[in-house]
Chain A
Amino acid sequence: MNSYRDKFKILSALAFVYIILFEFVLPVNKFLPKPTILLESFMHVWQDYSLLAGMLITTGTIYFAIGFSLFLLWIFRGSLIKFFLSFSQSLEVLQFFKSIPIFLIILMTAFWFDGLELAKIIFTILITFINLSRVLAKELIRTKPEYVSVGLSLNPDKIYSEVYWKASLPNLLELAIRFQRILWLIVLTYEFVAMSFGMGTIMRLALQYRDFGAIIVIGIIQALLIWFGTVIIKFVKKKIAFWES
């Protein structure tokens, strides 16, 4: 509780310093806009840049990809876990994806599909699914042998879907929390490059118009959305993987 209070105090202090410096002390500059300009930008980005629609598309893509990937993993957990445990090389193959430059994949996907909206959604789901699978494969190795020994006499499918899956779930959701920040960057970059609809494209437009106030406002909104997303996933984690909290 105290840490929240401390964070609030720090943010309030920074906001106060910013208002004093950039509103009253410093002349107009290109580093940070005046707080009053920021306030005006906050009003006009919603209309001029259709921010609400862009926000819904980008946020929807990101959190749908996370939710849908987790759902796919859950649906196919038995077969996937069996596969990962049977082929020890599968983790190495999945780890290989880590070393492929993500920017290259973004450019290639944008190039192949001409910024098609559906391509963006499938691309985001694929990236998320591969990363979550990688963590699942990694977690399987770490599963306590005593958990597995309990079910030696049971049907292996039950062990895969009940023991391995549940034992991996807390870290899988933990990765979802961390990965959503990276996913924001990936999706924004895709939209920025491919000019498909979303917050990334809006930021590109704002940059083209040299609308500095809008860029900062969109950035603040993104920060709030990421924070809200983190809170939601943490809440879900607390409910689903309650034994870890």
Chain B
Amino acid sequence: MKFENISKTFAYKNGLKVKLLDDISLDVKEGEITSLLASAGSGKSTLLKILCGLELVDSGQRIDAQTCLIPSQPSSFPWMNVTENILFANERLDEQTQKKLVHLVGLEGYENHYPNNKSLGFRFRIAIARALAVNPKLILLDEPFAAMDQKTKLEMLQLIVDLNKENKTTILLATSNLSEALLVSQTILFMKKGSTGNLPSEKTEYSSSNILDRMNSTSYSEYLTNSEKIAESFATHQSFTISL
């Protein structure tokens, strides 16, 4: 899935114009998890909004990539239970698919539970199931793990990896955390404020799909060292979070 020459300029009321995205191109491989590693303020959320059609590009066009965006605060509806939340996205979903989705995100037994007063992890699982219900070509995740505690974060990272493995779901994860990106994705795209053209990238490959195994592998340490170098030379005064 190629997205080419994406530019976005914001015009302020006082006439000031800021070009946040300047002719960016990115390639998201189908059936893979790709991470978009960028520090705060570099325009990654705007890029994701453009990809899902929430924002227009400078030419005034809307990119229709059949995507589904999961924002940083997972947006499950508190007035609907798990099943209703999933069905809201796709009413025509048959019972078997419903059950499959609930199973995929690990919410079996919680079908009638409401997301209010539940953990971020619970709401994230619902958001993923709902996204999968519409069968999008690409799922966009906008820093969904930032507010999660370590245990939940690892569980959700594992969920993403398992989903991709079992379902071949194409995912684009926007994050400012290098470790998150390295542990779950096959490709990492490095982005900074003012990036143009094709974004520099780093490939990863692990023998295990278990996140903890990946964390303890030598491959991970190597990728981390390489990526830190790329990130440092690339980001100049900007910074990424390295550890989980």
Residues in chain A within 8 A of chain B (CB atoms) = 144-147, 149-154, 162-163, 166, 169, 241-244
Contacts and interface: CB of A to CB of B under 8 A. Distances in A.
Contacts of A169: 79
B52 A150 contact: no
Nearest to B76: A150
B77 interface: yes
A150 B79 contact: no
B146 interface: no
B73 A146 contact: yes
B78 A149 contact: no
Contacts of A144: 73, 75
Interface in B46-81: 52-54, 68-69, 71, 73-75, 77-79
A147 B52 contact: no
B114 interface: yes
Interface string B75-98: 101110000000011000000000
A166 B71 contact: no
B53 A152 contact: yes
A243 B116 contact: yes
Q: Which 9 A-B residue pairs are closest in the complex by CB-CB distance?
A: A146-B75, A243-B78, A146-B71, A243-B116, A166-B79, A243-B79, A150-B75, A149-B69, A147-B75
A243 B54 CA distance: 27
Nearest to B131: A150
B192 interface: no
Q: Give the contact-size bracket for chain B.
A: 10 to 19
Nearest to A163: B77
Given A147-B77, A149-B52, A150-B127, 13 more contacts: A144-B75, A146-B71, A149-B69, A149-B75, A150-B77, A153-B134, A163-B77, A166-B79, A241-B79, A242-B114, A243-B78, A243-B114, A244-B116
B54 A154 contact: no
Contacts of A153: 68, 89, 134
B130 interface: yes
B88 A151 contact: yes
Nearest to A162: B88
28 contacts: A144-B73, A144-B75, A146-B71, A146-B75, A147-B75, A147-B77, A149-B69, A149-B71, A149-B75, A150-B75, A150-B77, A150-B88, A150-B127, A150-B130, A151-B89, A152-B53, A152-B54, A153-B68, A153-B89, A154-B88, A162-B88, A163-B77, A166-B79, A242-B79, A242-B114, A243-B79, A243-B114, A244-B78
A166 B53 CA distance: 24
A168 to B, nearest CB: 11
Contacts of B74: 146
B56 to A, nearest CB: 13
Nearest to A149: B69
Contacts of A152: 52-54, 69
A144 B88 CA distance: 17
A157 to B, nearest CB: 13
Interface in B115-146: 116, 127, 130, 134
Contacts of A145: 71
